[in-house]
A = this chain, B = another copy of it.
Amino acid sequence: MERHFDVEMKQLKERLLYMGDLADKMIHYAIQGLVERNPELFKEVEKREKEINFLHIEIDDRCIRLLALSQPMAADLRFITAGMKINSELERIGDLAINITQNGTEYLKEVQLKPLIDIPHMAQITQKMLEDGLDSFVNKDTQLAKSILLRDDDVDGLRDQLFRELLTFMISDPATIKRALTLILIARNLERIGDHATNIAEDVIFMVLGKDVRHHVEEKEVTSASG
């Protein structure tokens, strides 16, 4: 028979994965709605927002209960604190998908600017980062987690390129300004989704190795600067 604690830990993992899947689908439907110019798909995103918000609270409760009742040590403790952090990241990804549908609703009110440039490609990369982040969490796979950190630079590069391209549009034809601006905001939301997926990867690495890779802490040189 499994110990009660083990059952609770397993449930925590399952709920996080379920939440991650919801967040992933929210990005998918938000971008698909843009690509197909079908606002009905934005409703698929909204439908999942309430659920992801309840999960956010439920998972936080589970973590605090586990900390209070089981007084876990070492690896279990790191698993639970990582869970709390991943929970916040996923909730924010859900928020960003909602932002995209709001921008998208504005965008679909006007005629197509031109095929969505690199936005679907950016979405594809960030979704894969999220999926791999969750996989690396389940499998405690630090190699996979590290590969996510590298991909974040690709996302930032795409955003910069897209930004420049849209700026050129706007300057050469002011009639495109509003639409181009909306696409820039959508790209920023995708970039932030990539940031949250990166945070998840960092949380996984810390959970597994007990080693902090945030802020490139390997080059540790504490500055006593400022105040």
Contacts and interface: CB of A to CB of B under 8 A. Distances in A.
B181 A227 contact: no
A64 B88 contact: no
B57 A223 contact: no
A185 to B, nearest CB: 8
A51 B221 CA distance: 10
A41 interface: no
Residue of A56, A78, A167, A177 most packed against chain B (CB within 10 A): A177
Q: Count identical subunits in the complex.
A: 2
- Contact residues on A (Cβ < 8 Å of other chain), bracket: 35 or more
Interface stretch (A31-39, A67-75, A107-115): A67-75
A53 B214 contact: yes
A184 interface: yes
A118 interface: no
A143 interface: no
A150 interface: no
A55 to B, nearest CB: 10
A220 B61 CA distance: 15
Contact of A47 (B48, B67, B212, B225): B225
Contact of A64 (B47, B64, B78, B181): B78
A171 B177 contact: yes
Interface in A183-207: 184-185, 188
20 contacts: A21-B227, A22-B226, A44-B226, A48-B225, A51-B223, A51-B226, A56-B215, A57-B214, A57-B215, A64-B78, A67-B77, A67-B81, A71-B71, A84-B85, A167-B177, A167-B181, A170-B174, A171-B177, A171-B178, A188-B188
